[in-house]
C-alpha cells in the first residue's frame, strides 16, 4: 500500500513515541505493560490507514468532471460565488470522514489560473458557513474551452491542516493529486449553471475515478 508523503513525519514521530511508551510500560509493568500499550499500536494502524494513497487511473474527456475526493455529496444547490467567479453557480460539496482517503484531486482538465490560501475558523465541515468562514484553499482551473471551475479544500472541526500544491499556470489533469486534507473535512466545487450533474445528495463518491458531471 502506498502512503502519502504528508504522513511521513507524523508516522515517524508516532512510531518513536509509541515505541518508547511500550518499552517503558513493559519495563515498569512486566505483567500488563504490553496489553496497556496495545491501544497505541491500534491508533498507529489507523494513522497508517488514514495516510493511504491508492493509485487510481482516470478515464475522462475535457468535458468530464471527476470526483476530487472520496466522500458523500452533502450540498447540491445554486449559489452566488463571490470570491473569484462573481456569478451564480452550482455548488457541489463532498464531505469526508476520517475513514476516507484524503488525497484531493483535480476535478477537470485545464490550467490553474488562481490559487489562494485563506486562514479561518474550524467549524464542523458540514456547517453551511464553513465554505466561507473556515480555513480553506481556493483553486480555479480554466478548461481548454475557457470554462472556469472553482474548487475549495475546507478544514473542519477535526482537520487542522490543509495542503495545496496547485500553483498559477500549473497544468491540471483530472484525477491527478493537487493536495491533501488531514483528518476529515470537505471539498466544494463551483460549476456553471448549465453543467450536467450525475450525482445527487447522499451519493458516495470515489475520488479520481468517478464521473460526477459533464460541462456543456
Active site residues: 185
**Does residue 58 sit within a domain?**
no
pLDDT at residue 157, rounded to an integer: 61
Sheet containing strand 177-182, edge to edge, reads: 103-105, 177-182, 161-164
DSSP code string of 19-68:
HHHHHHHHHH-TTTHHHHHHHHHHHHHHHHHHTB---------TTEEE-S
Is the same domain home to 34 and 89? no
| pLDDT tens digits along 152-171 | 998 876 555 788 999 999 99
| pLDDT tens digits along 109-155 | 999 999 999 887 666 655 556 566 678 899 999 999 999 999 999 88
Q: What are 29's strand-pairing partners?
A: none
Is the same domain home to 16 and 115? no
| pLDDT tens digits along 96-118 | 887 888 899 999 999 999 999 98
**H/E segment holding residue 132:** helix 130-133
Give the mean pLDDT of 199-206: 96
What range defines the domain where residue 27 resides? Answer: 5-50
Q: Is the pLDDT of residue 200 over 80?
A: yes
pLDDT at residue 20, rounded to an integer: 94
The cell numbers describing 15, all together, are 512510531
Residues 20, 124: Cα–Cα separation, whole Å: 34
**Does residue 57 sit within a domain?**
no
Exposure of 70 in the CB half-sphere (CA atoms within 13 A): 14
Residues 7, 107: Cα–Cα separation, whole Å: 23
Is the same domain home to 81 and 136? yes
**Does residue 208 sit within a domain?**
yes
pTM as predicted = 0.84
| pLDDT tens digits along 51-89 | 888 888 887 777 899 999 999 999 999 999 999 999 999
- CATH code, domain carrying 120: 2.70.70.10
What is the number of residues in the chain?
216
- Tell me the C-alpha to C-alpha distance, in Å, between residue 13 and each of 44, 108, 128, 139: 10, 36, 35, 31
Is the same domain home to 76 and 39? no
Amino acid at each position: 500500500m502506498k502512503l502519502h508523503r504528508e504522513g511521513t513525519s507524523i508516522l515517524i514521530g508516532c512510531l518513536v513515541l509509541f515505541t518508547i511508551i511500550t518499552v517503558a510500560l513493559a519495563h515498569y509493568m512486566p505483567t500488563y505493560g504490553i496489553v496497556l500499550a496495545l491501544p497505541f499500536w491500534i491508533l498507529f494502524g489507523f494513522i497508517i490507514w488514514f495516510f493511504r494513497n491508492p493509485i487510481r487511473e482516470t478515464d475522462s474527456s475535457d468535458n468530464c468532471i471527476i470526483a476530487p475526493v472520496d466522500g458523500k455529496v452533502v450540498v447540491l444547490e445554486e449559489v452566488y460565488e463571490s470570491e473569484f467567479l462573481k456569478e451564480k453557480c452550482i455548488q457541489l460539496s463532498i464531505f469526508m470522514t476520517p475513514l476516507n482517503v484524503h488525497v484531493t484531486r483535480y476535478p477537470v482538465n485545464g490550467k490553474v489560473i488562481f490559487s489562494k490560501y485563506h486562514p479561518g475558523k474550524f467549524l464542523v465541515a458540514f456547517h453551511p458557513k464553513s465554505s466561507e468562514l473556515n480555513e480553506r484553499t481556493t483553486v480555479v482551473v480554466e478548461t481548454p474551452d475557457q470554462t472556469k471551475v472553482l474548487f475549495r479544500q475546507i478544514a473542519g472541526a477535526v482537520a487542522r491542516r490543509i495542503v495545496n500544491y496547485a500553483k498559477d499556470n500549473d497544468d491540471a489533469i483530472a484525477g491527478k493529486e493537487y493536495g491533501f486534507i488531514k483528518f476529515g473535512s470537505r471539498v466544494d466545487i463551483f460549476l456553471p449553471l448549465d453543467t450536467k450533474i450525475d450525482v445527487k445528495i447522499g451519493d458516495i463518491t470515489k475520488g479520481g475515478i468517478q464521473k460526477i458531471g459533464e460541462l456543456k
